[in-house]
Chains A and B, each alone.
Chain A
Amino acid sequence: MSQLLETSQQALVLLFTGDPALWSIVSISFSVSLRAILIATPLAFLVAFLLAYTRFPGRRVLISTFNTLLALPAVVVGLTIYMLLSRNGPFGDLKLLFTQTGMVIGQIVLCFPLLVAFSHATLQAADQRAWETAVTLGARPWQAMLTLMYEVRYGLIAAVTAAFGRIIAEVGSSMMIGGNILNYTRNITTAIALETSKGEFAQGIALGIILLLAALLLNFTLTFMQAKVGAVP
């Protein structure tokens, strides 16, 4: 017990003294996850829109597939992409294994189904009249699509927030694809795993607090957005 208190104290010191090693790890985490989200979101919204507003064969199968992939374990993604990117793998020539780009790819794969499933549900529940009104007022289909997304923006932001929460906190794929290289691919979660195995708990706890704060912030945003969604008639 006394050890836990002691390390927590050290962790707070690390946090408030601005330990450069610690903040480098934090910035890698956020930079990788933000890039993944920024790349995945537009594409996921487009897919979700097509699933909600067009009819094509295989649409239902695709929806079920995305819903199933919500439960995709991060280590399975890590393993699969590791195999694809490793020297002997089909994309080995790209030399993306143990790079931040590789981690971004892993996180895109992880958050994409979640983004699609959540935003599809949002767009599906959107007022049909919004689309019809936009179209009858002369908007082209893509313009009407953007209008529709604006109308349900709170639901879509909630989807993005949830997706970001998932990838900032995942450890499996970052560890396997990134390789936990200091100042390059070591992010919050992989650092915690490493420090814990070394018995250096202070840094681990400090990073954990940051992760927890991030999760708290995201959840507040999410709750706020959900209240907004409920308020919009």
Chain B
Amino acid sequence: MSVFLQFNKLRKSINGGQLLFDIDEFTVPESTCIVLSGRNGAGKTTLLKILAGLDAPDRAEILCDGEALPWKLARARLRQQVVYLHQQPYMFDKTVAENVAYGLRHAGLTRAQVAERVEQALDWARLSKLATRNARQLSGGEQQRVALTRARVLSPRLLLLDEPLANMDINSRGQTIELIRRFKSEGVSTIVTSHEPHISTMIGDEHRHLCKTGPCRYTIVKPFLFQRKLQQSPGLSEPPHQPEPRKAHEEPRAEEENKSRVDQSDAIMTGYTAKPAQQVTAVILAGGLARRMSGQDKGLMRINGRPLIEHIIAALKPQVSAILINANRNLDQYRRYDYPVIEDIMGDFFGPLVGMASGMQACSTDYLLTVPCDSPFIPPVLAERLFRELVNEDADISVAHDSTRMQPVFALLRKGLLPSLMTYLQDGGRKIDTWYAEHSLARTDFSDWPDAFININTPQEREHVEEKMMKANKGDRS
């Protein structure tokens, strides 16, 4: 796919001179819908306005169709080929038809040509009935459609939509999403900002998150979860498609070397202390049915003479301030470990998300670490590394990742996500990955811990694990 626009070393500071973002590279391919997420004040709107030629960057190297252009020339081209839509679109104090005609009247067309195109466009957006109404008297949803139509008649190469779905009722949302989809089918690239990343699963080909990776420094990262390939293959059983390795991920080693420095700046930047142990509760998800183990409770399965959960508790204990056990059967046996045992707060073995929700409800810390009950080789750096990535990325959820796929049950979540999770569950959602997709996600690399995600699903796997553990213990002794 050819690239329409590319901004390199895009830097923008706000009036007081404070750096807003510094983006190494931002590309806009043709015929692609990019969903751009980021917290309030991350600079999403400013970035869009720069892309539209409405705001000037401090500096940037701009390539337009591969041609390097200085800002003034690029700005003229962007203003011709890119259309920006405000969160609440501005309607000229004229009729709907005149609003739609606005751009065309400046494009050197005859009156008849303009009228014809306007008529077609109004028909396209099913606005013909409103053509002679003053655009200011329309409802928010109708204004949004007028704005989209007004942009479409100009056949832009790129359309920038700032929070197009905010403050909209469900009907208007549906219509707006429908129009955005049609843009895509017409070969127009779109960038949509949103607080609700789940819309990326509806319209986006690509999701990018504008986030903090250093003091006052925001860059674009591409959370792998939202790549289209993954959406087409439901669940996480297949390795996710990873188009480009993310830069932030190539740096952890350097980060570890400068750990104290990084931790310090994190603390200044975010107010979090660097050591996660006091703020994290772990929940061991032992509430499953273990169908493939003929219903045997996996957490209580003996590995080298000790129940599996004891191995896990031993690994977690030094890492967190509290441990919870989420279980639905054999509660008495789990209670022997002197940790609170919590049952699923809803449903009938609805899966790990309910276990997570139960953990969030029961925990008294701001962060919840989730681990499955059937992976005995939990890395001693699990909590710390997930936590650091969460803070670095300013994300809601930090998920472990081995080099090929995400491990969604090895995750660190903010407790504040509970209402969102409850809503999702009550709406009938059960899939971890779709719920994760609604939030900003930090991917934490554990490829240097190859055994971390080994789990036991079959009796053969259990034997394999026992063998491995024996070997490791022998290695320790010798």
Q: How far is the CA of A134 from the CA of B79 in the complex (A)?
A: 10
Tell me which residues across on chain B come within 8 A of A137, comparing CB atoms.
83, 102-103, 106, 150-151, 154
Tell me which residues across on chain B come within 8 A of A138, comparing CB atoms.
79-80, 103, 106-107, 154
Tell me which residues across on chain A come within 8 A of B49, comparing CB atoms.
132
Q: How far is the CA of A140 from the CA of B54 in the complex (A)?
A: 12
Looking at A130, A133, A140, the one whose CB has the most chain B CB atoms below 10 A away is: A133
Tell me which residues across on chain A come within 8 A of B90, comparing CB atoms.
127, 129-130, 132-133
Q: Does A220 lie at the interface of the complex (its beta carbon under 8 Å from any beta carbon of B)?
A: no
Tell me which residues across on chain A come within 8 A of B151, comparing CB atoms.
137
Tell me which residues across on chain B come within 8 A of A147, comparing CB atoms.
92, 102
The residues in A between 106 and 143 inclusive whose CB is less than 8 angstroms from any CB of B are 127, 129-130, 132-140, 143
Q: Are A135 and B92 in contact (CB under 8 A)?
A: no
Tell me which residues across on chain A come within 8 A of B150, comparing CB atoms.
137
Tell me which residues across on chain A come within 8 A of B83, comparing CB atoms.
136-137
Q: Are A132 and B92 in contact (CB under 8 A)?
A: no
Given A135-B79, A138-B79, A147-B92: A129 and B106 interface contact (C-beta under 8 Å): no
Q: How far is the CA of A150 from the CA of B53 in the complex (A)?
A: 23
Tell me which residues across on chain A come within 8 A of B80, comparing CB atoms.
138
Q: Does A61 lie at the interface of the complex (its beta carbon under 8 Å from any beta carbon of B)?
A: no
Q: Does B221 lie at the interface of the complex (its beta carbon under 8 Å from any beta carbon of A)?
A: no
Q: How far is the CA of A129 from the CA of B92 in the complex (A)?
A: 10
Minimal Cβ-Cβ distance residue in B for A129 = B90
Count class of interface residues, chain A: 10 to 19
Main secondary structure of the interface of A (DSSP, over half): helix
Looking at B106, B107, B151, the one whose CB has the most chain A CB atoms below 10 A away is: B106
Given A133-B86, A135-B54, A233-B136: A140 and B92 interface contact (C-beta under 8 Å): no
Q: How far is the CA of A136 from the CA of B102 in the complex (A)?
A: 11
Q: How far is the CA of A17 from the CA of B409 in the complex (A)?
A: 98
Q: Are B92 and A136 in contact (CB under 8 A)?
A: no
Minimal Cβ-Cβ distance residue in B for A140 = B106
Q: How far is the CA of A129 from the CA of B103 in the complex (A)?
A: 15
Q: Does B178 lie at the interface of the complex (its beta carbon under 8 Å from any beta carbon of A)?
A: no
Q: How far is the CA of A150 from the CA of B94 in the complex (A)?
A: 10
Q: Does A232 lie at the interface of the complex (its beta carbon under 8 Å from any beta carbon of B)?
A: yes
Q: How far is the CA of A132 from the CA of B78 in the complex (A)?
A: 13
Interface residue from B79, B93, B106, B154 paired with A151 (Cβ < 8 Å): B93
0/1 interface trace, chain B 105-128, chain A, CB 8 Å (1 if under):
011000000000000000000000
B246 to chain A, nearest CB (A): 31
Given A137-B102, A137-B106, A138-B154: A132 and B93 interface contact (C-beta under 8 Å): no
Minimal Cβ-Cβ distance residue in B for A148 = B92
Q: Does B84 lie at the interface of the complex (its beta carbon under 8 Å from any beta carbon of A)?
A: yes
Q: How far is the CA of A151 from the CA of B135 in the complex (A)?
A: 13
A75 to chain B, nearest CB (A): 42
Interface residue from A129, A136, A150 paired with B79 (Cβ < 8 Å): A136
Tell me which residues across on chain A come within 8 A of B92, comparing CB atoms.
130, 133, 147, 150-151
Q: How far is the CA of A151 from the CA of B88 in the complex (A)?
A: 17
Tell me which residues across on chain B come within 8 A of A150, comparing CB atoms.
92-93
Q: Are A143 and B84 in contact (CB under 8 A)?
A: no
Looking at A136, A138, A140, the one whose CB has the most chain B CB atoms below 10 A away is: A136
Q: Are B102 and A132 in contact (CB under 8 A)?
A: no
Q: How far is the CA of A150 from the CA of B92 in the complex (A)?
A: 9
Q: Are B106 and A139 in contact (CB under 8 A)?
A: yes
Minimal Cβ-Cβ distance residue in A for B84 = A136
Q: How far is the CA of A147 from the CA of B94 in the complex (A)?
A: 11
0/1 interface trace, chain A 216-233, chain B, CB 8 Å (1 if under):
000000000000000011
Tell me which residues across on chain B come within 8 A of A136, comparing CB atoms.
52-54, 79, 82-84
Q: How far is the CA of A140 from the CA of B150 in the complex (A)?
A: 17
Tell me which residues across on chain B come within 8 A of A132, comparing CB atoms.
49, 54, 84, 86, 90
B157 to chain A, nearest CB (A): 12
Tell me which residues across on chain A come within 8 A of B82, comparing CB atoms.
136
Interface residue from A129, A134, A140, A232 paired with B102 (Cβ < 8 Å): A134
Tell me which residues across on chain A come within 8 A of B54, comparing CB atoms.
132, 135-136
Tell me which residues across on chain B come within 8 A of A143, comparing CB atoms.
106
A125 to chain B, nearest CB (A): 15
Q: Are B107 and A129 in contact (CB under 8 A)?
A: no
Tell me which residues across on chain A come within 8 A of B154, comparing CB atoms.
137-138
Q: How far is the CA of A143 from the CA of B105 in the complex (A)?
A: 10
0/1 interface trace, chain B 45-71, chain A, CB 8 Å (1 if under):
000010011100000000000000000
B148 to chain A, nearest CB (A): 12
B156 to chain A, nearest CB (A): 9
Given A135-B79, A137-B154, A139-B106: A232 and B84 interface contact (C-beta under 8 Å): no
A20 to chain B, nearest CB (A): 45
Q: How far is the CA of A130 from the CA of B136 in the complex (A)?
A: 13
Tell me which residues across on chain B come within 8 A of A139, comparing CB atoms.
102-103, 106
Tell me which residues across on chain B come within 8 A of A133, comparing CB atoms.
86, 89-90, 92
Q: How far is the CA of A146 from the CA of B86 in the complex (A)?
A: 21
Tell me which residues across on chain A come within 8 A of B86, comparing CB atoms.
129, 132-133
Q: How far is the CA of A130 from the CA of B90 in the complex (A)?
A: 6
Q: How far is the CA of A47 from the CA of B99 in the complex (A)?
A: 27
Given A136-B82, A137-B83, 13 extra CB contacts under 8 A: A129-B86, A129-B90, A130-B92, A133-B89, A133-B90, A135-B53, A136-B53, A136-B54, A136-B79, A136-B84, A137-B154, A139-B103, A150-B93
28 A-B pairs whose Cβ atoms sit less than 8 Å apart in the complex: A129-B86, A129-B88, A129-B90, A130-B90, A130-B92, A132-B54, A132-B86, A133-B89, A133-B90, A133-B92, A134-B102, A135-B53, A136-B53, A136-B84, A137-B83, A137-B151, A137-B154, A138-B79, A138-B154, A139-B102, A139-B103, A139-B106, A140-B106, A143-B106, A147-B92, A147-B102, A151-B93, A232-B136
Lowest 6 CB-CB distances: which A-B pairs, in order?
A: A129-B90, A137-B103, A133-B90, A136-B84, A138-B103, A139-B106
B residues apposed to A, CB below 8 Å = 49, 52-54, 79-80, 82-84, 86, 88-90, 92-93, 102-103, 106-107, 136, 150-151, 154
